[in-house]
Amino acid sequence: MNKTIIIESDLDRIKQVVDQVRSMLEQAGARESDVFDIRLCLEEALINAIKYGNKFDKEKNVRVDFDYRDSRIFLSVEDSGNGFDIGSVPDPTLDENILKGGGRGVFLIRYLMDELKFNKRGNRITMVKSLKQQ
């Protein structure tokens, strides 16, 4: 089962994407805890793509690719921006960054997903989660 969803850079469109992915996860028999983790990570990735990648430019799109195979979910979120260097994202667990913004979404995604990859340009994140059946 795979699907591509393309939206304009509008935070109001996030719910539509999350609802579609949630429906596919439920069809695949995913446990509610996995659905929650994936939903949270997808929301974070979409917010980052719209806010930082496309800078809220509604003329720019965000592409979401969803694939379910071999009991694993593959989710990619790609914006139209210039990308970023993952090495420059601050570690939010360090004392000097505790009160600063930034890095929390990526930290959360790393923690909740089984795999996390960024393309070389830095404008596409791919997240992988192995599903445990109900």
Tell me the average pLDDT across 49-78.
95
Tell me the average pLDDT across 13-18.
96
The tally of domains found in the chain comes to: 1
Looking at beta carbons, which pairs linking 110-117 to residues 24 or more positions away fall under 8 Å?
112/37, 112/38, 112/40, 112/41, 113/37, 113/38, 113/41, 114/72
Alpha-carbon distance of 14 to 47, in angstroms, equals: 8
CATH number of the domain enclosing 93: 3.30.565.10
Alpha-carbon distance of 81 to 79, in angstroms, equals: 6
Look up residue 11 and give its amino acid: L
What is the domain extent for residue 21?
2-130
Alpha-carbon distance of 90 to 80, in angstroms, equals: 23
More confident residue, 131 or 17: 17
C-alpha distances (whole Å) from 114 to each of 6, 110, 111 are: 25, 8, 8
pLDDT band (50, 70, 90) for residue 134: low
Tell me the average pLDDT across 95-114.
73
What does the pLDDT read at residue 91?
60
